[in-house]
Amino acid sequence: MYTYTTEDFARRAPEAPKQAQIAPEQDTRDAFARDRARVLHSAALRRLADKTQVVGPRDGDTPRTRLTHSLEVAQIARGIGSRLGLHPDLCEMAGLTHDIGHPPYGHNGENALNAVAPCGFEGNAQTLRILARLEPKVLIDATSYGLNLTRASLDAAVKYPRTRTNADGTVNRKYSAYDEDADVLAWARAGHTDDRPPMEAQVMDFSDDIAYSVHDVEDGIVSGRVSLQVLWDFVELAALAQKGADAFGGTADQLIDAADRLRSLPAIAAAADFDFTLRSWTGLKSLTSQLVGRYVGAVTEATLASAANQELTTGLGRAHGNLVVPPDAEAEVRLLKTVAVLYVMDLPAHIARQDRQRERIFRVHEYLRAGAPGTLDTVFRAWFEAADTDLERERVIVDQIASMTESRLERVADKAAAFDGFL
């Protein structure tokens, strides 16, 4: 296992020993295991149970939510990390946190909040903000340190190690820290000599891709929205491959070649004939297991075989090493992601639903802003009243909306509609 340093285990704020022990302290967990537990027990993670993954949390009996997706990402990340010699709890924690900053309605809600937030909204930056400031755990002299995670844990959650605004004034589309949280990012990134995300974040990122592509295809098949028969429909496949290349990168030819490889797998052919029988259900579950193993094995083998990684005297961990994703595996994941997402996203009913979702967020934003601080929850009200600028106050309002579950947002939207001016 990679040797993490005392700086990796450092926390932003000191913590006193627990005072309520009946017996002498017997906790043998290390700091990363404690960090994993803090995230697992957080309210922010629980709220993901009522936030959209691809379809809504109330669509069907067993749809994947942001919470179940995060649990799957965490498990995959733990497996990859263990094989690479990373700390398994650290990798699992990164997987648990990777979507914790998502607002109601997933990426659609993210776009809506970004449209109304003067200083921007980004789910990854909101993740850092939740972990380091918003989630209640450690409070010292009226300053909240959030979950007060170790440096390595906070770093592992940073997929895009940059702030919203660059030194030259240009604005990044993807980033992991708002400009006002630059100090937190700088603290978490101490020890890095380049702009690469840490190894643990790289593992989390590809684990997200695996879970997204494999498990969301499973959901799509069960819901009837997706059929793997498209892999044998070469006209539709060509159109799909072009859409996938436009949306997720690579070329259409690479995705068509990926389809050729997938068609050769017996489990793919079996899932293409899914008919809700017990045999089909077990075959579908076998497919997801086989595909996850296929991509975990591919990335770990390629990473360990990398000449650059083998030359490292430190081993793979945090600021050392690069995750290597073989091109064929990457293309297959992109194709499956395309199948999972675009068949749902292109439906007219889904597009209409997304329009309604954005309208709700706009309505709630106007309602909270017009009535603030009285319309805000107690914690957010205190932050609003302590803010020095309009931009800081606006950030508090956006923080509250982002923290809502979809059920609560819809209740507040209905309440807002009862007032003149919010119809």
Looking at domain 31-188, what is its CATH homologous superfamily? Answer: Hypothetical protein af1432 (1.10.3210.10)
pLDDT of residue 16: 83
Instruction: Concatenate the DSSP letters of all residues of 194-232 into one string.
Output: SSPPPHHHHHHHHHHHHHHHHHHHHHHHHHTS--GGGGG
pLDDT of residue 307: 96
Give the number of C-alpha atoms closer than 13 A to the C-alpha of residue 177, restricted to the C-beta side: 21
> Measuring CA to CA, how many Å separate 412 from each of 264, 361, 368, 407, 409?
50, 10, 9, 9, 5
CB 44 within 8 A of CB 227: no
pLDDT of residue 223: 80
The DSSP bridge partners found for residue 165 are 171
Give residue limits of the domains in the chain.
31-188, 199-348, 350-417
pLDDT of residue 353: 86
> Measuring CA to CA, how many Å separate 328 from each of 138, 256, 257, 303?
45, 11, 9, 14
> Tokens for 363?
């309505």
Which residues of the chain have a pLDDT value below 70?
A: 25, 54-62, 344-346, 419-423
Q: How many residues does the chain have?
A: 423
Tens of pLDDT, residue by residue over 47-75, are: 999 998 765 556 556 677 899 999 999 99
Tens of pLDDT, residue by residue over 106-132, are: 889 999 999 999 989 999 999 999 999
CB 291 within 8 A of CB 282: no
Q: Is the dihedral of CA 195, 198, 204, 206 positive or negative?
A: positive
- State the Cα–Cα distance between residues 328 and 3, nearest whole angstrom: 32
CB 172 within 8 A of CB 181: no
- State the Cα–Cα distance between residues 352 and 344, nearest whole angstrom: 12
> Measuring CA to CA, how many Å separate 66 from each of 80, 181, 341, 399?
21, 25, 15, 18
- Quick one: CA torsion of 390, 396, 399, 404, rounded to 10 degrees? -120
The DSSP bridge partners found for residue 52 are 65
pLDDT of residue 58: 61
The DSSP bridge partners found for residue 177 are 163
- State the Cα–Cα distance between residues 136 and 139, nearest whole angstrom: 8
